[in-house]
Amino acid sequence: MKRVFLFLLTNLAILLVLGIAMNIIFSYFGISKSGIGGLLVIAAVFGMGGSFISLAMSKTMVKWSTGAQVIKQPRNSTETWLIRTVHSQAERVGIGMPEIAVYDSPDMNAFATGMNRNNALVAVSTGLMDQMDKNEVEAVLAHEVSHVANGDMVTLSLIQGVVNTFVIVLARVIGGVVDSMLSSRRDSDEGSSGGGGFYYYVIVFILEMVFGVLASIIVMWFSRHREFHADRGGAKLAGRRKMIAALERLRSDRFDVQLPQEVATFGVSGRKSWSNIFMTHPPIEERIAVLRSKK
């Protein structure tokens, strides 16, 4: 609840500051203010509401998209061990017992998601269970439990909502200013018919693309930052050697990450990208080096 309250407070503060700035800018350039209130509502709905809806539906969506099967009654010793291990780790970090699921995928991976610390889901791939020993799997589970304990899924969604709000509002504010300036020039020319609506939408579209890319860089940076914290949490719960061994095993995985895009951020192993700034996870070599440097 504290994170949700801070999220609402942050977004309301952003909207208030942007609203004041918009009034000043619009007044300076002589732009009509009649649409400011509506713009703020749109920013709140799409920036904040969309983030909340995505977060609330995260468990259902990842179960559907990955085919993850929740373990309700253990069918074998491996599933019994999974439940006992996660239960022990959850107790140690003071969170509610997450749902445990297994999904069919050849790559070694696992992910955590959920709307709050006491109602989360931790899922592991069949590839991870087949190719890792129990010590390594224990470390991966500890990594994901640390994500839950740190509230990383919630925080990442909150940051996404904040940057979405900026993208929506700033694109339209700057678009309105630029379109007003272009319209004034057109109107000053003889024979000009005015009508800058088309140009406004083109400008907003371009700005949303540009700001969207910049926003994704911010979100990806935060995601990489939280991976280091989850690795440290995993090392604390399972042991540093086990966490390093698990990462070294992940480095040898010959399969590409199979997780859908919407949950790839939450996997213990992330997709590769042409540039590090667009990666959800730091390079595994860097993660291992950081753990080894800790005394």
* Spatial separation of the C-alpha atoms in residues 241 and 102, rounded to whole Å: 25
CB neighbours of residue 290 within 10 Å: 14
285 is catalytic: no
CA angle, residues 249, 107, 92, in degrees to nearest 5: 60
Q: What is the pLDDT along the chain (295 residues), one digit of tens a residue?
A: 554 455 455 555 655 565 566 566 656 655 555 566 667 677 777 777 777 777 788 888 888 888 899 999 999 999 999 999 999 999 999 999 999 999 999 989 999 988 888 999 999 999 999 999 999 999 999 999 999 999 888 888 888 888 888 888 888 888 888 877 777 766 555 444 444 467 778 888 888 888 888 888 888 898 899 999 999 999 999 999 999 999 999 988 877 777 766 667 777 876 666 567 778 889 999 999 999 997 5
SS3 116: coil
CA angle, residues 49, 53, 57, in degrees to nearest 5: 170
The pTM for the full model equals 0.80
Distance from the Cα of residue 109 to its chain's centroid: 17
Q: CB under 8 Å to 87, separation ≥6 — which residues?
A: 97
CA-to-CA dists, residue 257 to 107, 109, 202, angstroms: 6, 8, 36
Annotated catalytic residue within 79, 91, 99, 144 = 144
* Spatial separation of the C-alpha atoms in residues 280 and 220, rounded to whole Å: 5
* Spatial separation of the C-alpha atoms in residues 173 and 181, rounded to whole Å: 13
Q: Which helix (H) or strand (E) holds 99?
A: strand 99-103
Q: Which residues make beta-bridge pairs with 122?
A: 100, 112
CA angle, residues 130, 135, 136, in degrees to nearest 5: 60
* Spatial separation of the C-alpha atoms in residues 204 and 255, rounded to whole Å: 40
List the domain boundaries for the chain.
1-295
Q: CB under 8 Å to 150, separation ≥6 — which residues?
A: 226, 229, 230, 233
